[in-house]
Amino acid sequence: MSNLQAPRAGAKEPSGLRYPTNGKTIYHRPLNRAKAAELSGASFAYLFSEMVSYASKKIESIQDLEKRLNVQGHPIGLKLLDLLLYREPARSQTRPLNIITLLHFIKNNVWQHLFGQAADGLEKSSDPSKPDEYMIIDNEPLVNRYISVPRDMSQLNCAAYVAGIIEGVCDGSAFPARVTAHSVGKQEEGEMWPGRTVFLVKFAPEVMERENFLGKG
């Protein structure tokens, strides 16, 4: 079979894409047309469901599953960054230039667009030895709405998908970071937000270095 693949690049030049005769292509439709469009929450729930079960195949650990969900979210973050900035009024169309602006952009713009409301909180790590860590808090992540995690998988948080999206936005803005989702809601009776999730954003050392340097200047 391998000989079928080889000639593709060399022998035959790709002929380019075909388009419908009515010219109905993505280039002919305004990029904003789907901005305020809605679909049913159930459609999302079912797609996400399949994404999670596909990602659960042949995994070795919960971390493995979360990693896969993160990877699936990442390209969405990259695209959303461009899309959301494009939709900003011209004067605020610049990409975030420091950590705080970036995190506010995620907490407000990204959240508002994807989930219909801003995230519930944004905090800096209180541990002075971890100045590179920030937390975005969502009391009830939309992606977890229908998920009931069994006890034997209690560390699992499927919002790892959203963590991937955040990571994509950070990477796309040239603030490389690792983002992970952690459940912090207590399961006890009467707890206000049992699904409360913290997205821990840990920026790469070079980001901190640049931030410090710019801060001094």
Partner 1 sequence: MPVQVYSLYIFDRHTECIYSKQWVQPATPASSTLPSTVTDQHRQTNGTELAATAAEQLPPKPRRNKGADDAKLIFGTVFSLRNMVRKLGGDDDAFISFRTAQYKLHYYETPTNLRFALLTEPGALSMRNVLHQIYINLWVEYVVKNPLSPVEHKGGEGVRNEMFELGLDKFIRGLM
Partner 2 sequence: MSASKAARVGEEIWKGRVDKVNAELVVLTYGTIVAQLCKDFDSDYVQVNKQLDKMGYNIGLRLIEDYLAKSNTMRRCSNFRETADMLAKVGFKIFLNITPTVTNWTSDNKQFSLVFEENPLADFVELPDDGRAQDELWYSNIFCGVLRGALEMVQMQVEAHFISDVLRGNDTTEMRVSLIRYIDDELPPEDD
Residues that bind partner 2 (CB under 8 A): 8, 12, 14-22, 24-26, 29, 33-35, 37-44, 46-51, 53-54, 71-73, 75-76, 79-80, 83, 113-116, 142
146's contact among partner 1, partner 2, none, with CB below 5 to 8 A by partner kind, is partner 1
Residue from 15, 40, 53, 126 touching partner 1 (CB under 8 A): that is 53
Among the residue ranges 70-78, 98-106, 145-153, 196-204, the one whose residues contact partner 1 (CB under 8 A): 145-153
Q: Return all residues near 94 (Cβ < 8 A) that are at least 6 apart.
A: 85
Residue-wise DSSP of 136-159: EEESS-GGGTT----GGGTT--TT
54's contact among partner 2, partner 1, none, with CB below 5 to 8 A by partner kind, is partner 2
Q: Are 137 and 196 in contact (CB under 8 A)?
A: yes
Residues 10-49: x where in contact with partner 1 by CB under 8 A, - otherwise, as a string: --------------------------------x--xx-xx
Cα–Cα distance for residue pair 46/157, rounded to 1 Å: 17
| Structure-token pair, residue 48 | 């996400």
| Structure-token pair, residue 196 | 């409360």
